[in-house]
């Protein structure tokens, strides 16, 4: 009987207690077959080692170029040999066996038979989780998928990345296994183009800068994340920022991500002393810069009422279409609450009454 032998490198441990999904919904595995490994098709080898993964998902990953042997992409019929370094990027299997399809208001910017682009509004959870089993973006997408002709799309929406409940902006949803595999590969290889816009406390010294610090679970507050510049915990994370507008005690910035860690922008900006305006997780929901009392403090409190969530918007998403190969890029304007908050700060910085 043909059997698979090998070890999983610590790049990813799917059974690790407390494993966090991060912002991106793909898994990166590394395998090294042992000397006793018999010749075996790589799709069968991976299927046997990854029992929660379907054979079809592995085969679609191979077609998308998401399986590598010694650094080179291989087809699904490649015969595994002892000592090879096997790497595979797979979209994550859904955790929920039962999903409720709901007719929810979604702003769809683009849709074809392979993918869907959605401009998510603030306050909507992306996917079902503890305490959020309905009313999520995935519930709404599932309803739309079930309105399509049979066989048009997968039974489940394919999440490749996510944004926080109170972050607004653009998301791509894959509608079949091949699109999911191809998009996962693009996110893994950092060939996508993503820009975020944020309002942060304070005046940054430089017009451009880069924050390099591991991001991981906070050592004491498990609901929070923290930056570890010394790399002692968490995962490597890089955020590039550009100042778009200086408004006294507030700055409007644009962020480009090299990595996609949970709360990355929020944590990185807080770590350099510039938390996002109104971010109640990372200290931005109080007066950070400027007088703590008087008319200015009153202005800030009133602006919190206009913009009551972290000031972060996923503004631009660009990627290669998984089938046509065409470069696609989408841009979302600032949502109403951020635009109103920004206007108030502009008026204040200009010396107008607010």
> pLDDT digits over 277-313, tens only?
999 999 999 999 999 999 999 999 999 999 999 999 9
Q: Can you give the CATH number for the domain in which 32 is found?
A: 3.10.290.10
The answer to whether residue 63 is domain-embedded is yes
Beta-bridge mates of residue 255: 196, 241
Residue 57 pLDDT level (bands cut at 50, 70, 90): confident
What would the mean pLDDT of 38-45 be, rounded to a whole number?
88
Q: Which two tokens stand for residue 176?
A: 């079949």
Read off the pLDDT of residues 110-146 as tens digits, 9 standing for 90 and up.
Answer: 999 899 999 999 999 988 776 677 889 989 998 888 8
Same domain, residue pair 213 and 342: yes
**HSE-up of 316 (CA within 13 Å, CB side)?**
12
Residue 39 pLDDT level (bands cut at 50, 70, 90): confident
Domain edge (last residue) among 189, 207, 238: 189
Higher pLDDT, 55 or 91: 55
Please, what is the Cα angle at 189 between 157 and 234, to 5 degrees?
85
Residue 322 has what pLDDT? 95
Higher pLDDT, 76 or 243: 243
Return the CA Rg of the chain.
Answer: 22
Q: Please say if the pLDDT value at position 52 is more than 90.
A: no
Residue 64: exposed, middle, or buried by beta-carbon count in 10 A (0-12, 13-18, 19+)? buried
Domain that holds residue 245: 195-314+336-348
Same domain, residue pair 215 and 269: yes
Beta-carbon contacts of 231 under 8 Å, excluding residues fewer than 6 positions away, are 214
Residues in the chain: 354
Same domain, residue pair 300 and 211: yes
Same domain, residue pair 226 and 341: yes
Above pLDDT 90, what percent of the chain? Answer: 61
Same domain, residue pair 208 and 280: yes
Read off the pLDDT of residues 80-118 as tens digits, 9 standing for 90 and up.
Answer: 988 899 999 887 655 555 778 899 999 999 999 899 999
| 22 touches 261 (CB < 8 A) | yes
Same domain, residue pair 178 and 238: no
Question: Looking at the annotation, which residues are catalytic?
Answer: 164
- Distances in Å between the Cα of 213 and the Cα atoms of 64, 259, 261, 269 are 32, 11, 11, 11
Residue 101: exposed, middle, or buried by beta-carbon count in 10 A (0-12, 13-18, 19+)? middle
What's the rounded Cα separation, in Å, for the pair 192 and 327?
10
Residue 51 has what pLDDT? 74
What's the rounded Cα separation, in Å, for the pair 210 and 228?
15
Residue 6 has what pLDDT? 36
What's the rounded Cα separation, in Å, for the pair 310 and 20?
21
Domain edge (last residue) among 91, 114, 142: 91
Residue 222 has what pLDDT? 84
Residue 204 has what pLDDT? 96
Same domain, residue pair 155 and 293: no
Number of domains in the chain: 3
Same domain, residue pair 229 and 156: no
Residue 155 has what pLDDT? 62
Q: Which of 132, 49, 147 is nearest to 96 (CA)?
A: 132
Read off the pLDDT of residues 260-282 as tens digits, 9 standing for 90 and up.
Answer: 899 999 999 999 999 999 999 99
Q: Can you give the CATH number for the domain in which 132 is found?
A: 3.30.2350.10
The answer to whether residue 207 is domain-embedded is yes
| 346 touches 247 (CB < 8 A) | yes
Residue 291 has what pLDDT? 95
The answer to whether residue 287 is domain-embedded is yes
Same domain, residue pair 236 and 257: yes
User: Which range among 188-192, 214-218, 329-333, 344-348 shows the weakest confidence by mean pLDDT?
Assistant: 188-192
Read off the pLDDT of residues 197-237 as tens digits, 9 standing for 90 and up.
Answer: 999 999 999 999 999 999 999 999 988 999 999 999 999 99
The answer to whether residue 219 is domain-embedded is yes
Q: Which two tokens stand for residue 88?
A: 């595979």
Residue 8 has what pLDDT? 34
The answer to whether residue 340 is domain-embedded is yes
Domain edge (last residue) among 60, 75, 91: 91
The answer to whether residue 320 is domain-embedded is no
Same domain, residue pair 199 and 278: yes
Same domain, residue pair 203 and 294: yes
Biggest CA-to-CA distance, the chain: 80
User: Per mean pLDDT, which of 48-57, 60-69, 109-118 is the most reliable?
Assistant: 109-118
Q: Which of 58, 61, 82, 67 is nearest to 7 (CA)?
A: 82
Same domain, residue pair 154 and 290: no
Label the pairing between strands 327-331 and 312-320: antiparallel
Enumerate long-range contacts of 217-220, CB under 8 Å, 24 or more apart: 217/18, 217/20
Residue 18 has what pLDDT? 29
How many angstroms from the chain centroid is the CA of residue 197? Answer: 15
Q: Please say if the pLDDT value at position 170 is more than 70.
A: yes
The answer to whether residue 11 is domain-embedded is yes
The answer to whether residue 249 is domain-embedded is yes
Residue 154 has what pLDDT? 64
Give the SS3 label for residue 327. strand
Q: Please say if the pLDDT value at position 19 is more than 50.
A: no
What would the mean pLDDT of 51-60 be, rounded to a whole number?
83
How many angstroms from the chain centroid is the CA of residue 232? Answer: 23
Please, what is the Cα angle at 305 between 170 and 264, to 5 degrees?
40
């Amino acid at each position: 009987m043909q059997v698979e032998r090998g070890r999983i490198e610590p790049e990813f441990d799917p059974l690790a207690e407390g494993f966090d999904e991060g912002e991106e919904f793909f898994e990166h595995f590394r395998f090294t077959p042992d000397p006793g490994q018999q010749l075996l098709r790589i799709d069968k080898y991976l299927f046997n080692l990854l029992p929660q993964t379907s054979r079809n998902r592995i085969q679609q990953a191979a077609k998308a170029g998401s399986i590598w042997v010694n650094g080179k992409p291989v087809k699904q019929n490649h015969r595994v040999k002892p000592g090879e370094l096997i790497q595979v990027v797979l979209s994550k299997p859904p955790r929920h066996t039962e999903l409720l399809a709901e007719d929810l208001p979604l702003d769809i910017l683009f849709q074809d038979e392979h993918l869907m682009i959605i401009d998510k509004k603030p306050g909507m959870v992306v996917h079902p989780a503890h305490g959020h089993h309905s009313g999520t973006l995935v519930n709404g997408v599932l309803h739309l998928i079930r309105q399509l002709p049979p066989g048009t799309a997968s039974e489940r929406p394919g999440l490749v990345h996510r944004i926080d409940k109170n972050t607004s902006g653009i998301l791509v949803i894959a509608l079949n296994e091949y699109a999911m595999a191809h998009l996962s590969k693009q996110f893994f290889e950092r060939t996508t183009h993503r820009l975020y816009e944020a309002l942060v406390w304070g005046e940054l010294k430089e017009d451009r800068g880069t924050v390099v610090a591991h991001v991981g679970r906070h050592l004491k507050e498990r609901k929070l994340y923290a930056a570890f510049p010394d790399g002692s915990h968490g995962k490597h994370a890089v955020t590039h920022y550009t100042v778009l507008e200086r408004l006294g005690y507030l700055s409007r910035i644009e962020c480009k991500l090299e990595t996609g860690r949970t709360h990355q922008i929020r944590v990185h900006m807080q770590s350099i002393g510039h938390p996002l305006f109104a971010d109640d997780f990372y200290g931005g929901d109080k007066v950070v810069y400027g007088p703590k009392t008087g008319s200015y403090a009153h202005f800030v409190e009133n602006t919190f009422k206009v913009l009551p969530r972290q000031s972060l918007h996923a503004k631009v998403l660009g990627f290669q279409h998984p089938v046509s190969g065409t470069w696609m890029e989408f841009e979302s304007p600032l949502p109403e609450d951020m635009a109103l908050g920004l206007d108030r700060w502009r008026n204040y910085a200009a010396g107008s009454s607010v």
